[in-house]
Structure 1
Amino acid sequence: MPTTLAPTPGRRILSIWLARLAIDRWRLGEGCERGRGRDAEPLVLITETAHGPRIDAANDAGRAAGARRGMMLADARTLCPQLQVAPSDPAGDLDFLEKLALWARRWGPWSALDAPDGIIVDVTAVSHLFGGEAKLLADAQAALARRDLVARLAIAPTAGAAWALSHHGPERAILACDEDASARLSDLPVAALRLDEDVLTVLRRLGLKRLGELGTVGRDAIMRRFRNRKSPAANPLIRMDQLLGKVPEPLLPVVPQQMPLVQRRLMEPIRHRELLDQVLADLAQDMARELEGKAQGARRLELGLWRIDGEVVVRALELSAATRDPAHICRLFAAKLDDVDAGFGIETVRLRASWAEPLALDQGDIEAGAEAHGTSLSAFVDRLTVRLGEKAVRRPVLHASHLPERAQRWQKPLEPEPSSQEELRFHARPLKLLDRAEKIAVLYATPDGYPQRFRWRGKVHEVTRVEGPERIAPEWWRERSTTRLRDYYRIEDGEGRRYWIYRHGLIGDGRGNDREGGLPDWYLQGLCA
Structure 2
Amino acid sequence: MAVALPNLPVERVRRRERAAGSGAPDDRPLVIVERQGAALRIVALDAAAEAAGARPGLPLTEARAIRPDLRAVPADAAADHAMLTAVADWCDRYTPLVALDPPHGLLLDVAGCAHFFGGEAAMAQDVAQALARQGLTARVSVAGGAGVARALAWFTPGGVATPEEERARLAALPVAALGPAEAVRTGLARAGLTTLGQLAARGRGELAARFGFGLVAALDQAFGRVDPPISPRRPAPARMIERRFPEPVLTQDAVVAACRALAGALAGRLEAAGEGVTRVEAAFFRADGKVSRISVATGRPTRDPDMLLRLLRERLDALADPIDPGFGFDLVRLSALAVEPLAPEAVSLDPGAAEEGAVAELVDRLAARHGRRRVLRFLAGDVHRPEGEARARPAQAMSTGGGRSAARAASWPAPSVAEPPRRPLRLFADPEPIEVLAEVPDGPPIRFLWRRVAHAVARAEGPERIALEWWRRDPGALTRDYFRVEDAEGARFWLYRDGLYVCEAEHPRWFLHGLFG
TM-score (norm 2): 0.48
Bigger helix fraction: 2
So what's the TM-score if we normalise by structure 1?
0.47
